[in-house]
Amino acid sequence: MDSEVSNGSDLRNEYITNLLVLDFLQSFSDCKFHQELRTLGQELPVRTYLEGEREDELQTDGNRASLFMGRIEADSESQEEVIQNIARHLAQVGDEMDRSIQPELVNELVARFMNAGLSEEDRSNCLDTTLKAAMQTYPKDMENEKTMLIMTMLLAKKVANHTPSLLHDVFRATVNFINQNLFTYVRDLVRNEMD
């Protein structure tokens, strides 16, 4: 596979996941990390990537390529809106699930994230371990991938709410975890909403 194609796909995945996690976290008004979230939103290349995508992806037929493989989408703004709507919906479902996450799991995850010596992979593994433990306490009345996606983003919210200074680290670990483990599900959610 051509490395440029691979990198482009990775950028698309990261763009989609950045926007999803950012909008999910912004859906909660009762959080203690609003200032950190505002700063993070300004630092992320979310909209910059879209603008670059519009310029770089002009096809031979004059159409612009979509962020979603194999489809032509003229309006990237509608893609952002779809992702934002998905994030808001997942946050609403997450409100009901929030109470099922045991505080001691969050405290352990916060303690691990406070270790400055952890690599991104280590942080992702910590998130994975905590997610598995949290999944044990939640009823199985929802598809597994959806539950994992919501619980992963809820754990990020809870860590950032506990210690707002960890928002950047937990955000990055969450995006990486989703891209490695749940991105096919996320991409399918977006595709289904756009159809």
- 8 Å CB contact between 106 and 152: no
The model's pLDDT over 66-101, given as tens digits with 9 standing for 90+, comes to: 333 333 344 455 888 999 999 999 999 999 888 889
What confidence score (pLDDT) does residue 9 get? Answer: 60
Nearby residues of 86 by Cβ (< 8 Å), 6 or more positions away:
20, 189, 190, 193
What mean pLDDT do residues 55-64 have?
39
- 8 Å CB contact between 12 and 173: no
Residue 48 predicted with pLDDT over 90? no
What mean pLDDT do residues 50-78 have?
42
- 8 Å CB contact between 19 and 154: no
* Structural domain total, the chain: 1
- 8 Å CB contact between 18 and 46: yes
* CATH assignment of the domain containing 126: 1.10.437
Continuous H helices in the chain: 3-26, 34-43, 46-56, 76-97, 103-113, 120-136, 144-162, 167-181, 183-194
What mean pLDDT do residues 163-192 have?
95
What confidence score (pLDDT) does residue 140 get? Answer: 73
What mean pLDDT do residues 166-180 have?
95
The model's pLDDT over 109-155, given as tens digits with 9 standing for 90+, comes to: 999 999 989 999 999 999 999 999 999 877 678 889 999 999 999 99
What confidence score (pLDDT) does residue 139 get? Answer: 65
- Look up the pTM and report it: 0.80
Residue 194 predicted with pLDDT over 60? yes
Residue 2 predicted with pLDDT over 80? no
What Rg do the C-alpha atoms of the chain give, in angstroms? 17
Residue 181 predicted with pLDDT over 50? yes
The model's pLDDT over 8-25, given as tens digits with 9 standing for 90+, comes to: 467 778 889 999 999 999
What mean pLDDT do residues 34-49 have?
79
What mean pLDDT do residues 182-190 have?
95
The domain of 38 spans 3-194
